[in-house]
Structure 1
């Protein structure tokens, strides 16, 4: 395994392990509209990043389009 692949595997393992600790604790939690919106925006950023990685791997497309760039790199608290 190359150093890049090893780092990716470690990051993936940490992400899944963290989700495994956090998600069960969400049962019974109630979020107001602002909190739900914030969580939704964060999840949209994660999905967009995952799609970008998948396109890089499957199609060799590594360029960020303008919308993806705004989604991934916007400043928190600032609307896109």
Structure 2
């Protein structure tokens, strides 16, 4: 369940960055969001057509967790 929440939160963050930009989000996080989005999009898809986060590597999951924590801190 946590992985699904993280995926949704990350995808929302990436959409916000791409659609309107986030002036308070550092450039390194914007670039990292795009990189994570690209990696997530390469995961096998579920029957519903979403990336199957259960097949993400431990490294990718750790980077997603770290990214979300740094994004929340940057927006605080």
The TM-score normalised by the length of structure 2 is: 0.39
The TM-score normalised by the length of structure 1 is: 0.38
Asked which structure has the greater CA Rg, the reply is 1
**Larger relative contact order, structure 1 or 2 (CA cutoff 8 Å, min sep 6):** 2
